[in-house]
Amino acid sequence: MFRKLFGSGKTVLTDISRWNEIGREVATHDCTELEAFHQGKSKEPKLSQDTRDPAMAEAVLQRVIALNREGRGHEARGKFDPAHAPFIAKLEKGGRGLTCCAVLGPEDYLVQQGTTYQDNTTWRVEGRRVTEIPDVSTFSWSRNRKFFAVAHRDGSFAVGSQFGDPKAEQIPAIPGSAFVPKDLPDDFVAKFAVPADRHAYSRISVSDDGTKVLLCDEERGVMLLIKAKSEWQSSLLFPSVELGVEEQMREFWEDDDYFTPFFDMIHAALSPDGNYVALGTQDDGHHLLSLTEDGQFSFFAHLGHLSEYPHNGCFSDDSRFVALNSCHFYNGVTFTSELNAVRGLTTEPYEHHVEQRILNDYLRVYASSFLPDNMANQKDGAFLLAGSGFAACVSPDGKLLWELGFGSSAGAVDVCQSTGRVLIASYSGMLHILDPSQKQSPAIFSGYNVPKEIGRWVFWDRLESPIVW
């Protein structure tokens, strides 16, 4: 099987006949190594290198594009196994990764391409049809899938029962002035740089009763929206005096300049029951806050990070457990704690407390969620931790259920109980659609107990339109 490539006035024949064979050999070897490692039979997995070169990858890609153009994209996977590593050379030249995703229904997905610093595009995939959706900045389901929140480009919000709900409640944009702590001393307020009205929401979360929406803004802070009676109100959680902004100003504020808080690696998660928030930045965390019905917060716990920089947080579906990740370069440590066991607790960084159960000791987690009991086949469900190159599904008691080497850094994940689907959106521009009730066969991924990928969509700017693989 050959593919002609034309360039520089020459015709080059690229052999793609061993595309599947080479990829499966690599995946099979790696899966064997990882199984031995996770079962304690080896100290370190010896992973192999994918030798399929960029020319072979491009030739295969052109075949997949041609099938999509002919309306036969669903046949591509049967002919050519999807891959990541052979395309890295092209990916390193730039592009817009995927930063948000949601399952809307059977074979119905919403995905965002581009970060808060780029021109982003929101796509809806319905079966084999892909359409661009205007005026969407970011979005999220509540964990029980009863409420869907959308942030619009002008910073306003809609909270309804589903995406595109014509009866969705409308919430006005939050001005930058609302992100200035109200309890600062007057002279500090005068020197506090008022954030711009422009929003940079990297994540929004919705409580299961639809009355709380948590906003994580990369440039302004963490804000809680609360529905009190029939009106929506806002409550600033971070920056705040309670979480140390006054001490930060005293240490770093220059007399002749305005002060801007440190927002590097800012992250925040809302518990499904709406009673707790986990938040932090690379300079401080992990903070756990307790919320009242009117949106006021109080200290609940401060758990020291076990790697260098606090980076991600996630609650279990029943709001019983929280998983907290800190990172060092592309590695990291994730632990979980039962909330009732850490109430009022403060621990120091790097001091492993008995109530911090290690879930994973190698991933820098970029995106996380939770698989319910019936999808995890585990009594208490399991956390989905998606990091750089790999995603791990781990029960709250620390049991690794499965691991998937998807190749790139995760941008977002979504878990849908009604369809049984798990989405992993990556910075490679690939949307991985998984069915964790089935095992992957043949082996096309590195991993452990690898779940079946039933489909993949590729969103690359160099393509005329997204393609299915």
Residue 266 inside a domain? The answer is: yes
Mean pLDDT of 273-290: 97
Predicted pLDDT at 12: 59
pLDDT digits (tens, 9 = 90+) for 72-92: 999 999 999 999 999 999 998
C-alpha count within 13 angstroms, C-beta hemisphere, residue 213: 32
Record the tokens describing residue 93, joined without a space: 């030249």
Residue 387 inside a domain? The answer is: no
Rounded distance between C-alpha atoms, residue 59 and residue 13, angstroms: 9
Is the pLDDT score of 4 beyond 80? no
pTM summary value: 0.96
Mean pLDDT of 436-465: 97
Residue 213 inside a domain? The answer is: yes
Residue 436 inside a domain? The answer is: no
Mean pLDDT of 22-37: 98
Residue 390 inside a domain? The answer is: no
The residues, any chain, with a CB within 8 Å of residue 279's CB and separated by 6 or more, are 216, 222, 237, 238, 266, 267, 268, 269, 285, 286, 287, 289, 313
Is the pLDDT score of 291 beyond 90? yes
Q: How many domains does the chain have?
A: 1
Provide the domain limits for residue 260: 135-302
pLDDT digits (tens, 9 = 90+) for 196-223: 999 999 999 999 999 999 999 999 999 9
CB-based burial of residue 66 (10 Å sphere; 0-12 exposed, 13-18 middle, 19+ buried)? middle
Residue 317 inside a domain? The answer is: no
Residue 110 inside a domain? The answer is: no
Residue 277 inside a domain? The answer is: yes
